[in-house]
Amino acid sequence: NAYRKQIKSRLLPDACYFCRNRLKNKEFHQVTIRQYDDFKIRLLGKKNIQSIQVAFNNTCNLRCVMCNEIYSTQFKKEGTCLNRKVYDKRFIEDLNKYIPKLKEFICLGGEPFLIEEYYEIWNQIIKENPKCEISVITNGTILNDRIKNLIDSGNFKINISFETINKEKYE
């Protein structure tokens, strides 16, 4: 509600810095909030949350050039890593009441397949709301039988983030 009040006053909260920068640069087609354009407005304000985007922590196995200490624990070598753990067990339990009506669950932060809290939520979504789209932004380096089975049993949308496909730039 605090975010909504700020936005109505034309002030974007700090958490909205991606959109703020894109709006400032007139990159309207890339404003993240557009992903919600197709959601049903009649459900807003009725505690029928349709989308949840979470970054549990920043555990990651890579230190990509386009990344930073907010999204990867690999920056701890320079002493800049925030090594944040944002949500606790209670938060996960609180999420359960929203799972039956969710349209999407977006997983960010670090490498989601290395973050154990996500597995508990993914299994709950698969069990209670198999149509819910589970979007995972991954570096694609972690793929084992546990992950393959999970992806096969749920409605996953996998986004692979990588530095470049150009060999010279990568090296």
Residue 109's pLDDT is: 77
- What does the pLDDT look like over 93-121, one tens digit per residue? 888 999 999 999 998 878 999 988 899 99
What is the rounded (10 degree) CA torsion for 86, 56, 1, 26? Answer: 120
Contact between residue 141 and residue 61 where contact means Cβ atoms under 8 Å apart:
yes
- What does the pLDDT look like over 29-86, one tens digit per residue? 777 667 666 666 555 555 678 888 888 878 888 877 777 776 677 776 555 445 556 6
Residue 15's pLDDT is: 66
Residue 79's pLDDT is: 52
How far apart CA 119 and CA 22 sit, in angstroms, is: 32
Outline where DSSP puts E strands in 92-132.
104-107
Residue 157, pLDDT above cutoff 90: yes
- What does the pLDDT look like over 10-35, one tens digit per residue? 887 776 766 777 788 887 777 766 76
User: Residue range 162-171: average pLDDT?
Assistant: 75
Phi, psi of 62 (to 5 degrees): -125, 165
How far apart CA 158 and CA 76 sit, in angstroms, is: 27
Q: What is the pTM of this model?
A: 0.70
Contact between residue 99 and residue 127 where contact means Cβ atoms under 8 Å apart:
no
